[in-house]
Amino acid sequence: MSVLARLTWVIVVAGLAALAAVGAVRLLGVPLPGYEPPPPGDVASAAIETLPEDHLYIVPEMAGVLSDEERAAVSAAAAASDPAVFITIINESSESGWFIPHDLRDQIMVGVDLPGQYLVWDGTTYGTSGTLGGNLGYIDTDLTGKNDAALLRYVDAVDSTTLEPADEFDYWGGLGGGITAGLLMVLCAYPALMLVVGIVRVIAGRSFLLPGRWRTLVTGRSA
């Protein structure tokens, strides 16, 4: 393989790693320097107005997800938690000013601008979370079970942690930690994909290594 071809492969892999790193930063709820989310729509604006006092906002379409008593209990627990928890329950099927729940989470975090843990949940298994004002490490967003019990379990998990000063390489926290997570994802996913492809090829009676440039990249010589 020529030097130019090898350089091309390095650039492609580095580009994919960079994209994965940025994606990991966003998915993990780590603010990017200078990042501005899309302008808030109706849902984000209503949440931004409600959350500082109530710590719980539920879109009208999802009003039945909690009874009045359950709603009061979740709101009180979220407000009493240290760090505070800000919960938004949405109906993801509606068009409400965001592309994915991560966009809505970012809009709310920027608009409320209070330290704590932010959760956006559409009533399914997992929610979308993010931390403002420091690092909490990993908080499981598995919200299976009865709605109020699941949300209270999440609040308890946040309350049992401490909002630490932002450390760029804290576990899954900080900008550096998020970028590192993305790079690790690429480094682990690529060999795993090649292993699966190789096994399938062996089962089909072919060589484990892909022909052409793939084999040359691995072995350093042409097939």
Q: Mark whether 129 and 147 lie in a shared domain.
A: yes
**Would you tell me how many other CB atoms lie within 10 Å of the CB of residue 9?**
14
- Predicted confidence at residue 137, as pLDDT, reads 78
Query: Looking at the structure, do residues 188 and 109 belong to the same domain, yes or no?
Result: no
- Phi and psi (nearest 5°) for 146? -60, 135
- Provide the whole-model pTM: 0.65
The enclosing domain of 134 has a CATH number of 3.10.310
Same domain, 129 and 193: no
Residues 89 and 136 in one domain: yes
Answer yes or no: do 166 and 182 share one domain.
Answer: no
pLDDT per residue, tens digit, the chain (223 aa), is 455 555 665 565 556 555 555 554 445 455 555 567 778 888 999 999 999 999 999 999 999 999 999 999 999 999 999 999 999 999 876 556 777 788 899 999 999 999 999 999 998 888 999 999 888 878 888 999 999 999 999 999 999 999 888 654 444 455 555 556 566 666 676 677 667 776 776 787 776 665 555 555 444 455 5
Q: Exposed, middle or buried: residue 118 (CB in 10 Å: 0-12, 13-18, 19+)?
A: buried
Put residue 58 in one of left, alpha, beta given phi > 0 → left and psi -120 to 50 → alpha: beta
| pLDDT given at position 219 | 47
Shared domain check, 99 and 44: yes
Residue 134 is predicted with a pLDDT of 86
At residue 46, the pLDDT reads 94
Phi/psi for 117 (5° steps) reads -105, 130
Total number of domains constituting the chain: 2
Q: List the domain range (segments joined by +) for residue 74.
A: 29-171
**Same-domain status, 198 and 127:** no
- CA 14, CA 89: separation in Å to the nearest integer? 37
Same domain membership, residue 149 and residue 204: no
Q: Are residues 127 and 183 in the same domain?
A: no
| Closest listed residue to residue 42, CA positions, set 26, 22, 25, 60 | 60
